[in-house]
């Protein structure tokens, strides 16, 4: 909305002034007019046209602020801001090839409770107490403290974004983003224990109840320490076998959006396992091959006669099947397969990312922090590396401090 300029430019003791009543104000202002970048009021020896241009600039600037202020005072609702935030996430969280990342779903999920609690209220009507009530509701929902803090921080980021988009005034952002994160052991939210490595004996007991193709996938994962999504995306075309050790460069990885490279070294034990699956196409490990192995096992164990109408490749109802195996694993299916094998084997449940922790702990114990950081792909700092090699941290502390304490203590 653009308002038509009003007011009068006049001579006030040899200086150009602008008399105007701005929209929403009751009194007129007497504004000294200045040239762009000048510190002093324009004298009347300057052309009147220059004074009128200065008045037009003043009018445009201040009425634009007035319109924005009126819009904010009218109050964008929480529902409108959340909808705009989620729509922005669909554009913002994109890979270089244009495909959406997991950040789109995270953005919607993180503000869902806030949206349901205050959807019809204007954002400018909310108070600090409302933000605390939202945080308390997250705690009562039963999620862990880290998730409570992440979702609270997501709402605060959305509010800051709304200010950048001129949807709320700065005073609203200043009040609503002062909610502090919960501290460990200082709130009713439950704390999750640190992720620990899974014992090799537990892994072997689980592998006995998995198909050979999937079991080898787990073994390669344990010997390389890559992330589960990197393991699921493993392709021969992304592995450089011309050097030793082999170098795997994932097509997609966690820090791709930062422009950081990701290289994963594949040692002799993992190479030996991978070579057993070299003839399976570009993807060495897939649900399709696991199902094929399952059908072969069932055929070998059957006692009834085999009917020739069955397909030679053991895939039933191949044409027109409602559900067909995927060409490659995704992280959810990979985790479910391991969980099912744990149940069949009667062993404690573990998840794929614990294999990364197992490898990180072993590397740090035998080769130190820098080697651990390199194999995990952590670019800077050691705090995140400490999280992945938590079990080796105490041993390393004792080892590093032993000489000094025995000498000086």
Q: Given pLDDT bands bounded at 50, 70 and 90, which one contains residue 253?
A: confident
Q: Where a domain ends, among 74, 98, 130?
A: 74
- Taking the CB of residue 303, how many other CB atoms lie within 10 A of it? 4
Shared domain for 144 and 244, answered yes or no, is: no
Q: What CATH number did the domain enclosing 229 receive?
A: 1.10.443.10
Q: Of all helices (H) and strands (E), which one includes residue 240?
A: strand 239-240
Query: What is the bridge-based pairing of β-strands 246-248 and 264-266?
Result: antiparallel
Coil, strand or helix: which one is 248? strand
Q: Among candidates 110, 132, 121, which has minimal Cα distance to 168?
A: 121
Confidence at residue 310, expressed as pLDDT on a 0 to 100 scale: 57
Cross-strand bridge partners of residue 188: none
What residue spans of 11-144 are helical by DSSP H? Answer: 48-74, 78-92, 103-110, 112-118, 128-140
The pLDDT of residue 409 is above 50: yes
Shared domain for 222 and 346, answered yes or no, is: yes
Q: Given pLDDT bands bounded at 50, 70 and 90, which one contains residue 318?
A: low
The string of pLDDT tens digits covering residues 115-129 is: 999 988 888 889 999
Shared domain for 83 and 158, answered yes or no, is: yes
Shared domain for 228 and 209, answered yes or no, is: yes
The pLDDT of residue 1 is above 50: no
Shared domain for 121 and 152, answered yes or no, is: yes
Residues 264-274: what's their mean pLDDT? 92
Shared domain for 67 and 207, answered yes or no, is: no
Confidence at residue 91, expressed as pLDDT on a 0 to 100 scale: 84
Q: Which residue has the higher pLDDT, 90 or 313?
A: 90
Confidence at residue 370, expressed as pLDDT on a 0 to 100 scale: 83
Coil, strand or helix: which one is 221? helix
Q: What is the pTM of this model?
A: 0.69
The percent of residues in the chain predicted with pLDDT above 70, rounded, is 87
What residue spans of 251-352 are helical by DSSP H? Answer: 268-275, 287-301, 331-345
The pLDDT of residue 143 is above 90: yes
The string of pLDDT tens digits covering residues 221-231 is: 999 999 999 99
The pLDDT of residue 136 is above 90: yes
Question: By mean pLDDT, which of 212-221, 270-279, 345-354, 372-381 is the weakest?
Answer: 372-381
Q: Of all helices (H) and strands (E), which one includes residue 311?
A: none
For the ranges 217-231, 243-257, 270-284, 383-397, the maximum mean pLDDT occurs at 217-231
Q: Where a domain ends, among 74, 99, 124?
A: 74
What are the residues whose beta carbons fall under 8 Å from the beta carbon of 164, sequence distance 6 or more?
none
Report in angstroms the alpha-carbon separations of 118 from 110, 124, 284: 14, 11, 49
The verdict on residue 393 lying in a domain is: no
Residues 334-357: what's their mean pLDDT? 94
Shared domain for 382 and 237, answered yes or no, is: yes
The verdict on residue 404 lying in a domain is: no
The verdict on residue 399 lying in a domain is: no
The pLDDT of residue 257 is above 90: no
The verdict on residue 208 lying in a domain is: yes
Counted domains in the chain:
3
The verdict on residue 310 lying in a domain is: no
The verdict on residue 308 lying in a domain is: no
Coil, strand or helix: which one is 55? helix
The pLDDT of residue 344 is above 90: yes
Question: By mean pLDDT, which of 18-32, 135-149, 248-262, 378-392 is the weakest?
Answer: 378-392
Shared domain for 66 and 82, answered yes or no, is: no
The verdict on residue 313 lying in a domain is: no
The verdict on residue 315 lying in a domain is: no
Shared domain for 384 and 286, answered yes or no, is: yes
Q: Given pLDDT bands bounded at 50, 70 and 90, which one contains residue 297?
A: confident
Shared domain for 129 and 148, answered yes or no, is: yes
Are 169 and 72 contacting, i.e. CB atoms less than 8 angstroms apart?
Answer: yes
Confidence at residue 317, expressed as pLDDT on a 0 to 100 scale: 47
Residues 298-313: what's their mean pLDDT? 68
Q: Among candidates 78, 182, 79, 103, which has minimal Cα distance to 140?
A: 182
The string of pLDDT tens digits covering residues 227-243 is: 999 999 999 999 999 98
Question: By mean pLDDT, which of 94-98, 183-187, 382-386 is the weakest?
Answer: 382-386
Shared domain for 218 and 275, answered yes or no, is: yes
The pLDDT of residue 372 is above 90: no
Distance (Å, rounded) from C-alpha 57 to C-alpha 35? 10
Burial class (CB in 10 A: 0-12, 13-18, 19+), 175: middle
- Which residue's entry shows tokens 């994932």? 250
The pLDDT of residue 336 is above 70: yes
Q: What CATH number did the domain enclosing 102 receive?
A: 1.10.150.130
Shared domain for 82 and 170, answered yes or no, is: yes
The string of pLDDT tens digits covering residues 43-87 is: 988 888 888 888 888 887 777 655 555 555 556 889 999 999 998
Range of the domain at 56: 8-74
Q: Among candidates 188, 196, 106, 195, which has minimal Cα distance to 153?
A: 106
The pLDDT of residue 148 is above 90: yes
The pLDDT mean for the chain works out to 85
The percent of residues in the chain predicted with pLDDT above 90, rounded, is 43
The pLDDT of residue 254 is above 60: yes
Confidence at residue 291, expressed as pLDDT on a 0 to 100 scale: 83
């Amino acid at each position: 909305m653009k308002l038509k300029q009003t007011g009068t430019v006049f001579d006030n003791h040899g200086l150009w002034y602008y008399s105007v009543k701005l929209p929403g104000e009751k009194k007129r202002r007497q504004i000294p007019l200045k040239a762009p970048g000048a510190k002093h009021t324009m004298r009347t020896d300057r052309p009147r046209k220059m004074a009128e241009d200065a008045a037009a600039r003043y009018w445009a600037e201040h009425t634009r602020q007035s319109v924005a202020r009126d819009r904010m005072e009218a109050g964008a609702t929480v529902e409108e801001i959340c909808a705009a935030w989620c729509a922005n996430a669909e554009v913002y969280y994109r890979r270089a090839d244009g495909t959406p990342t997991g950040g789109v779903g995270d953005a919607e999920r993180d503000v869902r409770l806030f949206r349901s609690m205050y959807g019809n209220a204007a954002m400018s009507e909310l108070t600090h107490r409302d933000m605390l009530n939202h945080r308390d509701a997250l705690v009562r929902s039963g999620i862990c403290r880290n998730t409570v803090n992440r979702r609270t921080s997501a709402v605060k980021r959305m509010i800051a974004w709304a200010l950048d988009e001129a949807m709320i005034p700065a005073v609203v952002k200043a009040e609503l983003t002062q909610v502090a994160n919960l501290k460990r052991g200082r709130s009713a939210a439950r704390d999750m224990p640190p992720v620990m490595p899974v014992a090799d004996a537990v892994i072997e007991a689980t592998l006995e109840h998995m198909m050979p193709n999937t079991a080898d996938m787990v073994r390669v994962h344990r010997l390389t320490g890559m992330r589960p999504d990197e393991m699921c995306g493993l392709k021969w075309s992304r592995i450089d076998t011309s050097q030793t050790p082999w170098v795997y460069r994932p097509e997609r990885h966690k820090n791709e959006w930062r422009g950081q490279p990701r290289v994963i070294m594949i040692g002799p034990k993992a190479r030996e396992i991978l070579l057993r699956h070299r003839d399976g196409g570009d993807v060495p490990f897939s649900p399709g091959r696991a199902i094929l192995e399952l059908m072969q096992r069932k055929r070998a164990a059957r006692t009834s006669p085999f009917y020739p109408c069955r397909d030679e490749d053991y895939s039933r109802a191949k044409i027109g099947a409602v559900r067909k195996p995927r060409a490659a694993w995704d992280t959810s299916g990979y985790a479910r397969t391991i969980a099912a094998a744990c149940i069949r084997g009667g062993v404690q449940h573990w998840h794929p990312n614990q294999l990364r922790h197992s490898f990180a702990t072993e590397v740090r114990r035998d080769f130190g922090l820098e080697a651990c950081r390199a194999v995990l792909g952590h670019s800077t700092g050691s705090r995140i590396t400490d999280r992945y090699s938590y079990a080796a941290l105490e041993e390393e502390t004792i080892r590093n401090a032993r000489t000094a304490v025995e000498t000086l203590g």
